[in-house]
Structure 1
Amino acid sequence: MTMSSTFLQSGCAIGVDLGGTKIEAIVLGPDGAERWRRRVPTPAGDYHATVAAVAALVGQARQELGLHAATVGAGTPGSLTAEGLIKNANSTCLNGMPLQRDLEAALGQPVALANDANCLALSEATDGAGAGAAVVFAVILGTGVGGGIAVHGRVLTGPNGLAGEWGHNPLPWSTAADPRWPCYCGQSTCIEMLLSGPGLARDHQPQPGGPTASDIAALAAAGDPAAQATLERHAERLARALSHVINLLDPDVIVLGGGLSRLARLYDAVPRLWGRHVFAAGAAGQPLHTQLKPALHGDSSGVRGAAWLGRAHVR
């Protein structure tokens, strides 16, 4: 019996979503039904503690479900170099580290690793908001901003592992009102810096210690005009950024995940605004057929995609 067939014996798939603020693990049964799920805080800035936390979660799943064998997939910020090192992660303690190799050593089995936005794209294209669509662009709007592309149910990665790395392009059609903040990647005015949760909070109040993105959403819902203006700026910037995606990729569906995807106003405001910048659309009054949808599986979509990834990788 091969190692691959050993880890497929139970038919269960374990997925891990390694985020900037939380690590989530899930177990999916052979039918895709959720059988187990847990979340723990991410050990901020501590690589070895992060690996240990992932191993502990997977060990807990195995123990509580009595799993002797299950595939494991993990979604992480950034992507893998040809040498197997993490690059471009906004959780900077991961950069330059052999995360896949270290997880495999800690767990004693193969681990499929992919960008977290690619996992979101795979999940939503498989059985989520983009199921049945030819081209799905998936966006994470959270601690960071990322993108993933699924075409006919398969994730695109590219020879450099950069397909969908939308968050580290400059915000298009920039105006004098757009902050020019430097980004950890070495550039400035990156989409991530302006559209992430921390970016929204900083745009609302530049001084540290101000309201978080969720606080601002609550203030806006209560009628606070400053908070409402902040969310309007964010929606307009997101419309510009996504119109660039439509011009390049022309996806059938754009799916939003991450904490800011819960801002219900985005799904009305952004499609009303993006036509101004889509080629030959706004000026000619042509309708746009791209749909903007929230992730069907919500916060669990990325971790579900990681589970699907692990099963496909071992097969």
Structure 2
Amino acid sequence: MKIGIDLGGTKIECVVISQDNHIIFRERLPTPKGDYLGILDSIESLVNKTLPYAPHNTPIGIGIPGTLSSDTGTIKNANTTCLIGEPLDQDLAVMLNRPIKLANDANCFIWSEFCDGAAKGKTNAFGVIIGTGVGGGLVVNHQLVNGLNGIAGEWGHNPLPHFGLEQRPCYCSKEDCVETYLSGPAFEKSFLDASPQTTATSVGSEEIVSLARIGDPLAKQHLDNYAKMLAASLTSVINIVDPDIIVLGGGMSNIDELYELVPKYLQEYVFSDTIHTPIVKAKHGDSSGVRGAAWLWNE
């Protein structure tokens, strides 16, 4: 049995995966906003509900929206900011009296897809999350790569290749991060910024894509620009790592047009006369992160 927990900005999800790799228990709770102790209590509540399905000493893998610092043993780089500076794994190990392993949520995502998803059978794989935020995870020679600073794969906080756009501050305190242009909220903001006549104060990504599909010229151009920026940003990954496959996850990965447009624009940027890198959608969809967390003890 495996227990996985995905600690997200809006929800905490817990699953138990059977020995034949099927989810036999799943439960979600809303993430307490800005409340570290509340998050601990919610995780404890979820784990208690797994007791009919998994032994009480089953190790737990947890995907987090940040990284565990090797220097301090506490969380860093988390967009759920109440986690920053907290020894989450140590606190949970004491509270739950069982082994805890933490990993960045994007690492969990690609680990799930590598073990039994879209990247199964590959040697090297890169996972991309484009949703509320932008993250990445890297597998090389069948192993998750964390890196010396614990930030391997974090392409979402590279500066966006120059597109002549206005500067945008990022929550990480830097400017012009890929995340500030390619996340779902950024996609929506850019569309509104390019629509001076509109009186709307918000618009959903799905609505923009629907407009593009029925031929709205502004929406079509916006989607095309987004695909071009995504291709330019992924070029650094391909030029440096040259993975066997790139797997997309997160809400923006559900835009089918990206799987045609991004490979086309990669031809303009990648340092190769031919590009064979598949850009594919995650097999396990929204479940990839929590499944990958459960798989951490098989890493």
Structure 2 length normalisation: TM-score?
0.92
- Structure 2 CA distance for aligned equivalents of residues 200 and 292 of structure 1: 20
How big is the shift at 1:223? Answer: 4.4
Match of 1:312 in 2: 298
- Structure 1 CA distance for aligned equivalents of residues 280 and 192 of structure 2: 29
Pick aligned residue for 2:156 from 167, 173, 187: 167
How big is the shift at 1:132? Answer: 1.2
- Structure 2 CA distance for aligned equivalents of residues 260 and 129 of structure 1: 17
Percent sequence identity over matched residues? 47
Rate the CA distance shift 1:14–1:261 in 2: closer, same or farther, 3 A: same
Mark the runs of 5 or more structure 1 residues left unpaired by the alignment: 1-11
State the aligned residue count. Answer: 293
Rate the CA distance shift 1:66–1:95 in 2: closer, same or farther, 3 A: closer
- In the TM superposition, 1:64-103 aligns within 5 A as 65=53, 67-82=55-70, 83-103=72-92
- Structure 2 CA distance for aligned equivalents of residues 76 and 29 of structure 1: 22
Partner amino acid for 1:183? Answer: C
Rate the CA distance shift 1:287–1:36 in 2: closer, same or farther, 3 A: same
- Structure 2 CA distance for aligned equivalents of residues 99 and 215 of structure 1: 38
- Structure 1 CA distance for aligned equivalents of residues 200 and 94 of structure 2: 39
- Structure 1 CA distance for aligned equivalents of residues 215 and 66 of structure 2: 37
Match of 1:147 in 2: 136
Match of 1:240 in 2: 232
Mark the runs of 5 or more structure 2 residues left unpaired by the alignment: 194-198
Rate the CA distance shift 1:52–1:226 in 2: closer, same or farther, 3 A: farther
Q: What is the DSSP-based 3-state SS (H/G/I as helix, E as strand, rest coil) of the residue aligned with 2:26?
A: strand
How big is the shift at 1:211? Answer: 1.4
How big is the shift at 1:106? Answer: 2.7
- Structure 1 CA distance for aligned equivalents of residues 187 and 159 of structure 2: 16
* Aligned residues of 2:107 and 2:137 also touching (Cα < 8 A): yes
How big is the shift at 1:270? Answer: 0.3
Match of 1:191 in 2: 178
Partner amino acid for 2:255? Answer: L
Are residue 300 (structure 1) and residue 292 (structure 2) matched?
Answer: no
Q: Deviations along 1:102-131, whole A, 9 cap, x unmatched?
A: 222332211100001111111111111111
* Aligned residues of 2:3 and 2:58 also touching (Cα < 8 A): yes
Are residue 276 (structure 1) and residue 268 (structure 2) matched?
Answer: yes
Q: Deviations along 1:132-177, whole A, 9 cap, x unmatched?
A: 11110001111111111112321001121111111111012x121x
- Structure 2 CA distance for aligned equivalents of residues 224 and 131 of structure 1: 38
Are residue 129 (structure 1) and residue 118 (structure 2) matched?
Answer: yes
Structure 1 length normalisation: TM-score?
0.87
